[in-house]
Chain A
C-alpha cells in the first residue's frame, strides 16, 4: 500500500489556506519529528477570517464527515498525536457540536477563536491556543519542529484535510473550492479544477458580469484587483473572487473598508503594520488620501513588516489605485 504522504505528494496537493505551500512537505517535516518519538499536534485551521472566503464553512456544513476523516488520517499517520480544530467563533457556535459527535472517540478537541484575523496565521494561532497574545512568532522554528506547547505541530486548512481524505480514497480530481461573491450575484462555493483560469471559473459558474467590472482575487482584504482583460490566467492566492461593478463602486469607500479591516484585524505587533494601517484609515476617514505619503507607508510595510499580512497589505490598494482610480 502506498503511504499517504507519498500519495499527497503524487497528487501535488497544496495547502488550501491561501499560501499554497506543498502539503506533503509539511507532513514530511512532521514525520521526521515523529520518528524521533515526539508527540505530535495536528491542527485544523478553520479561522477563515478573510472577507469573501467562505469555503471552509461550506465544508463544515456539507462535508463534515469527510473533513473529520481527513483529520483521522493524520491521527493514524502520526503515532502519538492529538488534534485541535480551531474554529472562528461563529463556526464554532454553529458546527462544533455536530463535528464533535462525528469525531467522538478520537483525540480531537475544539477551540473557539475569539481573536482577530491575524490569528489565522499558523504561529499566531498556536500562541492563541496556548493562551498568549495572538501575535505571529519568529520562524524558525517552524511549527513542524516546535509548535503547540513546543511540540511538532501540523497545521493545515480545513479544506486541505478534506482533500487529503479524497486523496486517500482515490477520489481527488485536482479541484479546489472557489468562493464567489460580489455585486449582483449569489454568494456561492464552486468545486472546480485548480487549473481553471479565472475567466473559466466565472463563465462556467454563470457569473461573468454583463456590466463593466473588476474583481478582487485572493480574498476580500489581501487580494489584488484585476480587470476583465487580465482573467485569462490562473491567479495566486486564496481561491476567492469578489466582483465589483466598475461604475457603481466608489474606490475610496472600498479602500476605507479595507483600511478599517486591517486596522482592526492585524495583531499590532510591529510598527509599520500597526501604525501604518492606522494612518491609512485616518487619511481615508478624514478624506485626505495623500498618495505620496501612502506610497512611503507601503514601502515601509512591504519591506519591514514582521509577517506576510503587513508585507502584503499594500497589494489591494496599489492595484486599485493603479488600475481603477488611476
Chain B
C-alpha cells in the first residue's frame, strides 16, 4: 500500500491510499464530530457533522467518505466548518434539551460529546429550536431494550444493524407525512431478539438497555435480602475501560473486591457455571457422535441466538443443545446446592448476574428455566450498569485492590470457562473436555488459533477416533444466516456450531462498554485468552469444585437435569410496551 501525505489544519500527516480523512483524523486524535459513522457499517452519510473544508475551495466535504489523496489539504476547525456544524448540531440537539443528565447513555453519547465541544463556540446555541419530538412515547422491547424516539437523530444505524441481526429488520424506518421515524415493527413476523446491537451502533441515547441497577441498589439496602452476584467471563476484559484502563486488561480480582465493597453477600465467577455447561454439552456431543446421530448440535449460551431460532427459524430449534447457559446453571446451583450447604433459605437470596448482554435480561425471565419454583437469576444488569453501580457508590474500580474468589464449593473456575466470552471460546472449551472424555488424555495444544480470529465464520476440522468432524464458531446473525443455509441442505455438515449473536461474540455484546470497534473486540478477546493461559486449570473437567459437584450433588441425575437442562420451543412475538 502506498503512503501519501495530507494536510489537516496546516499540519502534515501520513495516510494510506484508500483511507478516508476521518480515519486519518481519528488516528491522529483530531476531533471531528462524526456522529453517524461506525466502522462496522458502510458510511450512511446522514448526520453531516463530519464536514471538513477543502482549503482554498471554500467548500465542505463529508470526511467519512472523503478519500485521502496526496496533497489534499483540509481544515476541521475553520470558520465555515464551525458555522455549518453549529447549525446542524443545533438542529439535531433541538430535540433533547436538558435531558442528558438522566440519560442512560450519558457517557457514550456522541451527540452530547459534540454539544459539549461546541458549547464554548460563539455561534452555537443549544436550544435554538423548539423540541419537535417532546411528546413521543418510549418503547420497551421485552425486558431488554429501551428506545426513546425523542432522542433519535434519524441516522438509521440501528435499522441497518437490526436488518443484519433479524430477518427483514425489527427496528426500522417508518414513513410519516413529513419525516420518517425509526420505530419497532408491529407486524407479527418481526420481533426483537434482544441482542442490543442497535445500542452498540446508536450514536445517541435513543437506544439503551432497560436499566435494572436501581433495583439492585435498593436490594443492597434491604437487610432481609442476601444479594449474591455473579459476573460473566466477558466482562473481565472490558469493565476497566469505563474506569480508564485499556481494553483487554483483566480485572477479575478487582471485580471481586469492588462487589464485596458495595455490599455483595457473595460473589461468584460465572466461569464456574461455564465449566458445568461444558461438562454437560461435551457429554451430549459425545453421545451424539458415538450413537452415529450425525446431525448438528448448536450451542445455546446466547439467548439472542436462541430467540432468533425460536422466532425466525423454528425448524432449527431441535438442534439446540438442551444445556442451559452458564449463569442460569450457576444461579440454579446457588439457590439449591449452595443455599443448602450454607443453611440459607433460597427465598432470601437475590441472584444478580452482571452480563455483557441485554438478551440475558430476557433469558432470566424465561419461565421454563425455573428451578423449584425459583428463577435461577433474579436480576441481570449489563456491564455498563455495573460501572454505574460502582460509580454511584464512589468506587473507582481502577484503584481497587484485587482479591480472590473465596467460596469453598463453587469458587474455582478454569480458563476454559473464561474464554466463553470470545467467539470460538465455547467451542474450544467443549473440544478440550470432549477430547479428554473420549481419549482419556488432554489435548497437546489447548488453543485453536484459527478460531481466535475475528472473522464471523470460523471453521475447524478435527479427527477424533478416526472420524473427521467439522465444527464452526459463528458470530453475528448475518453470518449465522449463511451457515443455516448450508445446514438446510445438509444438517450433518457440521457436528457442532457455536453461535453468538453479537459480531465478535460477547466481548462485543449489547451490554458492553462503548465504543466498540474491531480493534477493541480484538483486545478484549486477547485479554480473555491471556486469562486462560494464566489460569492453573484450563479444562472444565479439571475444575476441582466441578469434580466435587459431580461426585456429590449431581450424583442425582434428577437434580443435575433440573438445574442444567431445558427445552426450547418455537415462540411468538414478545411484548412491546409503550412508556411515557
Residues of A within 8 A of B (CB): 133, 138, 263-264, 268-272, 274-276, 278-279, 281-282, 293, 296-297, 299-300, 303-306
Contact = CB atoms under 8 A, between A and B. Distances in A.
Interface stretch (B44-52, B218-226, B309-317): B44-52
A272 B46 contact: no
Contacts of A293: 128
Given A275-B92, A299-B87, A304 B177 contact: no
B154 A306 contact: no
Contacts of B465: none
Contacts of A270: 45-48
Contact of B48 (A138, A281, A299, A304): A304
B45 A279 contact: no
A268 B91 CA distance: 13
Q: Is the interface of A mostly helix, strand, loop or mixed?
A: helix
Contacts of A269: 44-46, 154, 156
A276 B48 contact: no
Contact of A274 (B43, B65, B128, B154): B154
A272 B173 contact: no
23 contacts: A138-B43, A264-B178, A268-B154, A269-B44, A270-B46, A271-B88, A271-B91, A271-B153, A275-B92, A276-B91, A279-B91, A281-B178, A282-B130, A293-B128, A296-B87, A299-B83, A300-B48, A300-B84, A303-B60, A304-B60, A305-B48, A306-B48, A306-B62
B179 interface: yes
B111 to A, nearest CB: 11
Given A264-B177, A278-B132, A279-B91, A304 B46 contact: no
B174 to A, nearest CB: 10
B91 A272 contact: yes
B88 A300 contact: yes
A299 B51 CA distance: 13
B448 interface: no
Nearest to A260: B178
A40 B43 CA distance: 27
A41 B60 CA distance: 33
A303 B180 CA distance: 23
B177 to A, nearest CB: 7
A245 to B, nearest CB: 30
A173 to B, nearest CB: 39
B103 to A, nearest CB: 20
B80 interface: yes
Interface in B117-170: 128-130, 132, 153-154, 156
Contacts of A282: 130, 132
B83 A296 contact: yes
A272 B87 contact: yes
Contacts of B92: 271, 275
Given A303-B51, A304-B48, A305-B48, A133 B88 contact: no
A138 B41 CA distance: 14
Nearest to B92: A271
A268 B130 CA distance: 19
Q: Is the interface of B mostly helix, strand, loop or mixed?
A: loop
B91 to A, nearest CB: 4
A300 B62 CA distance: 13
Interface string B32-55: 000000000001111111010000
B172 to A, nearest CB: 9
B83 A275 contact: no
A300 B44 CA distance: 18
Contacts of A281: 178
B84 A299 contact: yes
Given A138-B43, A278-B178, A306-B45, A272 B88 contact: yes
Nearest to A296: B87
Contacts of A264: 177-178
Contacts of B486: none
Contacts of B60: 303-304
Nearest to A277: B178
Contacts of B49: 271
B340 interface: no
Contacts of A297: 87
Given A133-B173, A299-B83, A303-B59, 19 more contacts: A268-B154, A269-B44, A269-B45, A269-B156, A270-B45, A270-B47, A271-B46, A271-B49, A271-B92, A271-B153, A272-B48, A275-B92, A276-B87, A303-B51, A303-B60, A303-B84, A304-B60, A304-B62, A304-B84
A208 B47 CA distance: 45
Nearest to A305: B48
A260 to B, nearest CB: 9
A299 B132 CA distance: 22
Nearest to A300: B87
A268 B179 CA distance: 6
B178 A263 contact: yes
A273 to B, nearest CB: 9
Nearest to A293: B128
A138 B87 contact: no
Contacts of B129: 279
A304 B132 contact: no
Given A279-B91, A300-B87, A271 B178 contact: no
A59 to B, nearest CB: 30
A216 to B, nearest CB: 23
A270 B91 CA distance: 11
Nearest to A137: B45
Given A138-B43, A278-B178, A304 B83 contact: no
A162 B94 CA distance: 48
A227 to B, nearest CB: 28
A278 B179 contact: yes
Contacts of A138: 43, 45, 65
A303 B82 CA distance: 12
Contacts of B43: 138
Nearest to A281: B178
Nearest to A298: B87
Contacts of B91: 271-272, 275-276, 279, 300
A275 B46 CA distance: 12
B69 to A, nearest CB: 14
B121 to A, nearest CB: 14
Contacts of B83: 296, 299-300
Residue of B48, B80, B84, B91 ringed by the most chain A CB atoms within 10 A: B48
A49 to B, nearest CB: 16
Nearest to A269: B46
B337 to A, nearest CB: 53
Contacts of A299: 83-84, 87
Contacts of B47: 270-271
Interface in B100-124: none
Residue of B43, B132, B178 ringed by the most chain A CB atoms within 10 A: B178
B327 to A, nearest CB: 39
Contacts of A304: 48, 51, 60, 62, 84, 88
A297 B43 CA distance: 24
Contacts of A271: 46-49, 88, 91-92, 153
Contacts of B179: 268, 274, 278
Contacts of A303: 51, 59-60, 80, 84
A281 B45 CA distance: 24
B130 to A, nearest CB: 8
Nearest to A306: B45
Interface string B83-97: 110011001101000
Interface in B292-310: none
Contacts of A305: 48
Nearest to A304: B48
Nearest to A278: B178
Nearest to A262: B178
A297 B228 CA distance: 55
Contacts of A300: 48, 83-84, 87-88, 91
Contact of A306 (B46, B84, B156, B180): B46
Which 10 residue pairs are nearest across A and B when measured between Cβ atoms?
A275-B91, A300-B87, A304-B48, A303-B60, A271-B48, A271-B88, A263-B178, A300-B84, A303-B84, A304-B51
